[in-house]
């Protein structure tokens, strides 16, 4: 079987998937057309059910970084990246800690909440940074993954001189942009629900057929070894002496600590990124804001936390299966693509692991379902980025400039903003295709940009004394430190520039990205507290209901009335499953 062997049955299944997606998009367009309000377009009229919210959150998250990156990390590093997936508990923090404040404030965007808690300038700063970050991360990685999937599954396709990478990238961007522009958040949410079902079933089939081809779970453990099944990685590479001097590894210099996800980074840094992403990022929280009330928002978040446990088994394990099949010499295509002549993993090729399994292992018909699942993940991820970016621009910029604009005009601007993001995505393709190590580079972007946002939101909710000046300086200092690291890293990752060994820039570039992220977080906490406590107290009457210290008794009682024992039991079950997974993957 070759990578080009998509049978007509597979194509019919894929066609059926597109019919369903665009049918839902057209239905959402008709629903939105009846009201022509910004609430309808950006938040689906605040009328989403909890299971739709849970599926939409999960499907938007499970995108290109999982198809390309997470499965690839399973191939190279085993279950090390499972820490990020087991941060499903962060969604429980969203459900129980942050949702009461978000729903009480009735905001459309996360920067809007920051304005109500602090000041308008903080809203503007966060909006600008968020838009830039979406272009650098979510759009870039989504487009890259679309190209990779098409290049692996249909390598011989071409159109008007464009190869399969270009064709795949353009198709994913344009088709996703069409139904997102048409139906807004309702289209994104409901298509995400369908896409979640397809994705979970398809990915589970990859694991099942992969294990069958390999010979079972026991063979997987034998070939991969104990280290690949251990979540907790050592601080020092295997066989290296404990020294503070730079050490040579993987053909490049690395600063003492290895880049194989050591346990300190996973224990302290990864939760910061998780809490930022799941609890404060517009891309995720916008789906929760589409709930009609606090109860639905909480249950949707709990549902998403349960679904979030699945990627360990439907992406990381298949990545490990691809490595095992290649290592055992069962499939020559996998072996020649993933491993070098010495039997070591080629890290730049590991991102092809999941689509290669689809092309090489699955039978006719099943392959069509899984390819539809791959497209579902790519499209739902991009759709979420398009809609979140349009909401940020329209609500946080246009509506501030034109506060009296009619709702139909606001919706029209939202559609135009989405179209602009599609164009930006298309313009990104040459950069992405030519970038060396782009995916590894993008993994660090969120780690550098997340800390100041995490600090201002969580300190803002838990400490009523922190003020607008403290928030502003925290954002400025934190983002300056993050952008500085990106500026240092970019020439190395994209242009193969090398700094003089031992120089200041060389040291900055070689400090492990999670440790640098922790450094930014500590600095941001200090700045937030020092500036706030040395300037005027906020006017507490203006931030009523936005912090734990300024909630009224009525607000507390209302929150208590929105949950019952079943919500608690469901949350407890998720926590129990997380603990069980940690115990299982601790060698």
Residues 103 and 295: their CA atoms lie apart, in Å, by 10
CA distances from 488 to 129, 448, 497 (A): 19, 12, 10
Phi-psi region of 106 (alpha: psi -120 to 50; beta: other; left: phi over 0): left
Would the pLDDT of 2 be above 70?
Answer: no
Would the pLDDT of 229 be above 80?
Answer: yes
Report the pLDDT value the prediction gives residue 106, as an integer from 0 to 100: 86
Would the pLDDT of 579 be above 60?
Answer: yes
Report the pLDDT value the prediction gives residue 239, as an integer from 0 to 100: 46
- Average pLDDT over all residues of the chain: 80
Interval 262-288 mean pLDDT: 84
Lowest average pLDDT, out of 22-31, 87-96, 442-451, 518-527, goes to 22-31
Sign of the dihedral through C-alpha 479, 483, 489, 495: positive
282 touches 392 (CB < 8 A) = yes
535-558: burial string, b at 16+ Cβ within 10 Å, e else: eeebeeeebeebbeebbeeeeeeb
Report the pLDDT value the prediction gives residue 500, as an integer from 0 to 100: 84
Would the pLDDT of 424 be above 80?
Answer: no
Beta bridge partners of 204: none
Report the pLDDT value the prediction gives residue 1, as an integer from 0 to 100: 37
Q: What is the pLDDT of residues 552-566, one digit of tens each?
A: 999 999 999 999 999
Report the pLDDT value the prediction gives residue 235, as an integer from 0 to 100: 60
Angle at Cα 368 formed by Cα 365 and Cα 370, nearest 5°? 115
Would the pLDDT of 4 be above 50?
Answer: no
Comparing CA positions, the residue from 468, 434, 382 lying closest to residue 121 is: 468
Report the pLDDT value the prediction gives residue 238, as an integer from 0 to 100: 47
Looking at per-residue pLDDT, the higher value among 536 and 138 belongs to 536
C-alpha count within 13 angstroms, C-beta hemisphere, residue 68:
28
Q: What is the pLDDT of residues 527-553, one digit of tens each?
A: 999 999 999 999 999 999 999 999 999
Looking at per-residue pLDDT, the higher value among 506 and 71 belongs to 506
CA distances from 177 to 68, 168, 171, 188 (A): 21, 14, 10, 10
Looking at per-residue pLDDT, the higher value among 526 and 257 belongs to 526
Report the pLDDT value the prediction gives residue 252, as an integer from 0 to 100: 40
Domains and CATH numbers, the chain: 8-434 (1.20.1730.10)
Interval 235-257 mean pLDDT: 42
Residues 62 and 56: their CA atoms lie apart, in Å, by 10
Tokens (6 digits) for 170? 């353009």
CA distances from 529 to 120, 213, 258, 456, 532 (A): 20, 56, 33, 10, 5
pLDDT band at 575 (very low <50, low <70, confident <90, very high): very high
Residues 418 and 577: their CA atoms lie apart, in Å, by 38
Tokens (6 digits) for 189? 């949410």
Cβ count near 583 (within 10 Å): 9
Residues 125 and 130: their CA atoms lie apart, in Å, by 9
Interval 317-344 mean pLDDT: 84
pTM for the whole structure: 0.80
Interval 359-374 mean pLDDT: 80
Angle at Cα 352 formed by Cα 450 and Cα 81, nearest 5°? 40
Interval 319-334 mean pLDDT: 86
**Cα-flanking dihedrals φ and ψ of residue 551, to 5°?**
-80, 140
Burial class of residue 159 in the structure, from the number of CB atoms within 10 Å of its CB (0-12 exposed, 13-18 middle, 19+ buried) = exposed
Would the pLDDT of 244 be above 70?
Answer: no
Residues 96 and 84: their CA atoms lie apart, in Å, by 20
Lowest average pLDDT, out of 38-47, 328-337, 446-455, goes to 38-47
Would the pLDDT of 488 be above 80?
Answer: yes
Interval 506-519 mean pLDDT: 88
Interval 46-71 mean pLDDT: 75
| 3-class secondary-structure state, position 303 | helix
Would the pLDDT of 476 be above 80?
Answer: yes
Looking at per-residue pLDDT, the higher value among 187 and 462 belongs to 462
Sign of the dihedral through C-alpha 291, 292, 293, 296: negative
Tokens (6 digits) for 343? 């039997």
Interval 312-340 mean pLDDT: 85
Helix (H) or strand (E) holding 414: helix 407-434
**Cα-flanking dihedrals φ and ψ of residue 536, to 5°?**
-65, 145
Interval 137-153 mean pLDDT: 71
Report the pLDDT value the prediction gives residue 521, as an integer from 0 to 100: 96
pLDDT band at 526 (very low <50, low <70, confident <90, very high): very high
pLDDT band at 291 (very low <50, low <70, confident <90, very high): confident
Q: What is the pLDDT of residues 157-216, one digit of tens each?
A: 666 767 777 777 777 778 777 767 766 667 767 777 777 787 788 888 888 898 898 888
C-alpha count within 13 angstroms, C-beta hemisphere, residue 330:
20
Residues 323 and 74: their CA atoms lie apart, in Å, by 8
Report the pLDDT value the prediction gives residue 298, as an integer from 0 to 100: 95
Comparing CA positions, the residue from 312, 313, 58, 66 lying closest to residue 195 is: 58
Find tokens 């240092």 and name the residue: 488
pLDDT band at 99 (very low <50, low <70, confident <90, very high): very high
Would the pLDDT of 466 be above 90?
Answer: yes
Q: How much of the chain, in percent, has pLDDT values that exceed 90?
A: 23
Would the pLDDT of 332 be above 70?
Answer: yes
| Rounded-to-10 torsion of CA 238, 241, 246, 252 | -30
Would the pLDDT of 517 be above 80?
Answer: yes
Interval 363-387 mean pLDDT: 77
Residues 408 and 411: their CA atoms lie apart, in Å, by 5
Would the pLDDT of 473 be above 90?
Answer: yes
182 touches 360 (CB < 8 A) = no
Angle of helix 438-462 versus helix 120-134 axis, rounded to 10: 160
């Amino acid at each position: 079987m070759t990578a080009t062997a998509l049978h007509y049955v597979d194509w019919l299944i894929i066609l059926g998937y597109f019919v369903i997606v665009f049918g839902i998009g057209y239905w959402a367009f008709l629903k939105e057309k009846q009201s022509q309000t910004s609430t309808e377009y950006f938040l689906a009229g605040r009328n989403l059910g909890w299971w739709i919210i849970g599926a939409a959150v999960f499907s938007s998250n499970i995108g290109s970084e999982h198809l390309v990156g997470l499965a690839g990390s399973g191939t190279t590093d085993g279950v090390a990246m499972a820490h990020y997936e087991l941060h499903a508990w962060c969604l429980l923090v969203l459900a129980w800690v942050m949702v009461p404040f978000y729903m009480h404030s009735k905001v459309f965007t996360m920067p809007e909440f920051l304005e109500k808690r602090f000041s308008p300038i903080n809203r503007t700063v966060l909006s600008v940074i968020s838009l830039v970050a979406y272009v650098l991360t979510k759009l870039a990685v989504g487009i890259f993954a679309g190209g990779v999937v098409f290049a692996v599954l249909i390598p011989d396709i071409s159109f008007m001189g464009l190869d399969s990478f270009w064709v795949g990238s353009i198709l994913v961007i344009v088709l996703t942009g069409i139904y997102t522009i048409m139906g807004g958040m309702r289209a994104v949410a409901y298509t995400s629900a369908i896409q979640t079902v397809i994705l979970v079933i398809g990915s589970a089939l990859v694991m099942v057929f992969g294990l069958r081809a390999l010979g079972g779970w026991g063979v997987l453990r034998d070939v991969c070894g104990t280290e690949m099944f251990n979540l907790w990685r050592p601080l020092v590479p295997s066989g290296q002496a404990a020294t503070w001097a730079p050490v040579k590894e993987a053909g490049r210099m690395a600063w003492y600590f290895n880049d194989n996800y050591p346990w300190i980074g996973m224990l302290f840094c990864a939760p910061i990124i998780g809490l930022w992403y799941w609890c404060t990022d517009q891309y995720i929280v916008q789906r929760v804001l589409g709930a009609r009330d606090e109860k639905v928002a909480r249950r949707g978040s709990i549902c998403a936390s349960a679904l979030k446990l699945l990627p360990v088994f439907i992406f990381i394990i298949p990545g490990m299966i691809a490595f095992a099949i290649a290592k055992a010499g069962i499939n020559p295509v996998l072996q020649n693509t993933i491993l070098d002549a010495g039997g070591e993993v080629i890290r730049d090729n590991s991102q092809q692991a999941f689509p290669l399994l689809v092309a090489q292992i699955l039978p006719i018909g099943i392959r069509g379902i899984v390819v539809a699942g791959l497209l579902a993940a790519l499209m739902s991820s991009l759709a979420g980025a398009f809609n979140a970016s349009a909401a940020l621009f329209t609500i946080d910029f246009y509506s501030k400039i034109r506060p009296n604009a009619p709702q139909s005009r606001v919706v029209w601007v939202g559609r135009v903003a989405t179209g602009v993001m599609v164009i930006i995505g298309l313009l990104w393709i040459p950069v992405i295709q030519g970038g060396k190590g782009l995916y590894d580079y993008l993994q660090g972007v969120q780690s550098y940009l997340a800390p100041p946002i995490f600090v201002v939101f969580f300190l803002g909710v838990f400490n009523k004394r922190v003020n607008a000046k403290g928030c502003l300086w925290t954002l400025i200092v934190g983002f300056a430190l993050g952008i500085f690291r990106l500026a240092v890293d970019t020439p190395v990752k994209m242009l193969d520039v090398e700094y003089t060994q031992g120089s200041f820039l060389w040291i900055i570039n070689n400090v492990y990205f999670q440790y640098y992220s922790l450094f930014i977080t500590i600095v941001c906490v200090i700045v937030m507290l020092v500036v706030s406590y040395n300037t005027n107290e906020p006017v507490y009457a203006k931030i009523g209901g936005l912090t734990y210290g300024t909630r009224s008794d009525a607000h507390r009682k209302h929150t208590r009335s929105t949950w019952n024992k079943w919500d608690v039991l469901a949350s407890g079950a998720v926590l129990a499953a997380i603990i069980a997974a940690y115990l299982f993957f601790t060698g």
